[in-house]
Amino acid sequence: MGVSSLGDDNIAIGGATLATEAAALGLADEYRPKVYPVLVGGGMRFFRQRKRREHLELVETRTFSSNVVYPRYRVAG
């Protein structure tokens, strides 16, 4: 969890709680989740319930040999 620099004035925010707070403040302009091919019966939600809906545009998708899918979404608007 935490924040790391991606260069070019970009930062990556990791961890469900920190990412949720950044998104709620309108600080996120892209989402880059990694989707693992495993089903689990519980865990933390990706984001808590929010009052507003974020419209996203798919920019890129990568699939790795491990079947992990890495979509990149940009906030539309």
Q: Can you say how many angstroms the Cα of residue 69 is from the centroid of all Cα atoms in its chain?
A: 13
Q: How many domains does the chain have?
A: 1
Q: Which domain holds residue 26?
A: 2-75
The answer to whether residues 68 and 53 touch, using CB atoms and an 8 Å cutoff, is no
CATH number assigned to the domain comprising residue 37? 3.40.430.10
Tens digit of pLDDT at every position of the chain (77 positions): 444 445 567 778 877 788 888 888 888 888 888 899 988 887 777 666 666 678 899 999 999 999 999 999 999 97
Strands 69-75 vs 10-14: parallel, antiparallel or unpaired: unpaired
Q: Can you say how many angstroms the Cα of residue 7 is from the centroid of all Cα atoms in its chain?
A: 18
Strands 2-7 vs 30-31: parallel, antiparallel or unpaired: unpaired
